[in-house]
Amino acid sequence: MSSLSPDLDQQAINVIRGLAMDAPLAAKSGHQGTAMALAPLAHVLYSRVMNFDPADPAWPNRDRFILSAGHASVLQYSLLYLTGHGLEMDDLRAFRQWESATPGHPEAGHTAGVEVTTGPLGQGFANAVGMAIAERILADRFGSDAVDHYTYVIAGDGCMMEGVSHEAASLAGHLGLNKLICVYDDNHITIDGATDLAFSDDTAARFAAYGWDVVELGEKADDLEALERALVRAKAADDRPSLLILRSHIGHPSPDHTDDHEAHGLAFDAGDVTRTKEVMGIPDEPFWAPEEVVSAYRAHAADRGGATRAAWSERAAGVTGTAEWAAAWAGTGLDGWDADLPTYEQGEQVATRKAIQAAFATTVDGLPGLVSGAADLTGNTGTKLPDPTPQSSDDPGGRQVYYGVREHGMGAALVGMALHGGILPVGGTFFVFLDYMRPAVRLAALSNAKVCFVFTHDSVGVGEDGPTHQPVEQLATLRAIPNMHVIRPADGNETAAAWRDAVLHDGPTALVLSRQNIEVVTDGSAVEFGAGIVRGDGDPDVVLVATGSEVAVCTHASDRLAEAGVSARVVSMPSWDRFEAQNTGFRRGIFPPNVPVLAVEAGVGLGWHRYADDVIGIERFGASAPGSVALDKLGINVDHVVERAQALLTD
């Protein structure tokens, strides 16, 4: 089955197991046990089953591999070293060290060959579901000559326990993602001890109920031929994702720590490593990797991958040279894609969640990678495309994904779709439910995944649903995430500009939108620079700065202040992070020195004091009442703004 000899197979596995012990020992940090147990599986995947080309790690039609059990990162690094993806022995020696290419958990964009950032358990599994969705949509759009690959994921007991895997597995089964193959490393071990301390699920029955093809491999963790047969069989599944349940033994073949829960972490000292290498029959030297083994392995990977990619390049040439293909893989649009974005007249009333739907409708044809959906709130969040075709096994090219009530799974799937490439994913939910999907949002920022998160019902203006559905702290917490581009547009014009900005931005964007109608008061230009003057270009007495629906409140307050002889500048500041990227001169032009600033936002005021001398916010949970009443009673009204602005001038 393999062009590598049986002797070379075994030597390669020994190298992987040795590195799995040596790197954590040298770092005095890491997880060796799972990597040791799964060395044969990883070897089979990389040397016999998966299609990839180490000379072009970003080849679009490569198979995707995700180590959802990301704590076993040394396993993946060992294979990337052996296959010639760019890691060298010095990188393994620098495992978990400052600025090394081998960080504690795999990081997308940091190490060639790592597809997604994993570590928080279950996230990688759910990312894989997104990748399988992406492959299916692109294969239908561009044809199987151009797109025809599989997504492989290794998940552990922790992944199966985390709730995100339940959501994602249910969605994958419902969609019948037949090119998704998961190997469940059933080693019966967690950090606390044996899994039976806390876990007695019948995982096979659960996944079968989700609609997966489930195969219990049993004690086959060291049987290369059985592993290959199982993986090849899984590839032949034509209507379901596959779960292969592999009973492994953590720390194998250590005479001291096999099946020891301490082997999940840094259990091995130098003596343990010596005794294990003696059992394996390899030299007791750190980072042992014979040149002949490494050279043969790299040559095998290069020959196999290069031939496969070359055949694809010839086969897919008629597609990959098109503008549509280029735009999809760049995550951008065809020429003129934004020419028909909607514009709104001053004084019109439009909810920004409605404005975003109009923006999607006018650009969907020019954005070949656009795929939209929501967590059972498609119409409510404005994420429904015109004439939507639901994504399903019957309609594999459907660009409308119905995620169901699964925010956590949706968020992680969006990240997987973005990191797969070729897809510009949009996902929506109510803003308060950001908290259900925060881990995925954080990982989108950490991995710079180009996702557009649409969060609607953005304030106590939600109304009668009450404080359980009225976000007050979410905006401040979202802004606190590094590398997250956050836009809360003031009206329909800023919403259209925000969608253009999200498409052009190279990374994740969060759009925070209103349920209620908002008066149009801007021309949309503030989005590009993060802030802009809506009224009062001259020398103001006071600056009123706001976001979202509160900008219109400030314009009316400025009229009242003008009647009292006070010149009030109104600033719309839809994006703090974009504003911070501007030069000092621009920022001072918005907020002139020595002019008092009053910030107005229907949420907690945390962070506003970097710009403002006083803040009108909501430092409590909301209340069940009509949205306009809730806003008024909680101080988001013209009278309050006028009062506080005048107080600033008299202090």
Cα distance between residue 620 and residue 552, in whole Å:
23
Question: Is 188:258 a contact under the CB 8 Å cutoff?
Answer: no
And the tokens for 498? 């925000």
**Cα separation of 191 and 193, whole Å?**
6
Indicate which residue of 407, 494, 519, 601 is catalytic. Answer: 407
Sign of CA dihedral 438, 439, 445, 448: negative
Distance CA 35, CA 385 (A): 44
Q: How far is CA 162 from CA 86, 123, 439, in A?
A: 33, 9, 12
Tokens 């009530």 appear where?
405
Task: Determine how β-strand 614-616 pairs with β-strand 597-600.
Answer: parallel
Which residue is associated with the tokens 């993946």? 76
* Interstrand relation of 349-351 and 517-519 (parallel, antiparallel or unpaired): antiparallel
Strands, DSSP E only, in 513-600?
517-519, 532-535, 542-546, 568-572, 597-600
Distance CA 380, CA 334 (A): 28
Is 407 considered catalytic here?
yes
Q: Tokens 């490393």 label which residue?
A: 185
d(CA 560, CA 415): 46
Are 517 and 554 a contacting pair, CB within 8 Å? Answer: no
Q: Copy the structure tokens of residue 446.
A: 């950490």
Number of CB atoms found within 10 A of residue 365's CB: 13
Task: Report the Cα 59 to chain-centroid distance in Å.
Answer: 20
Residues annotated as catalytic (active site), given as ranges = 407
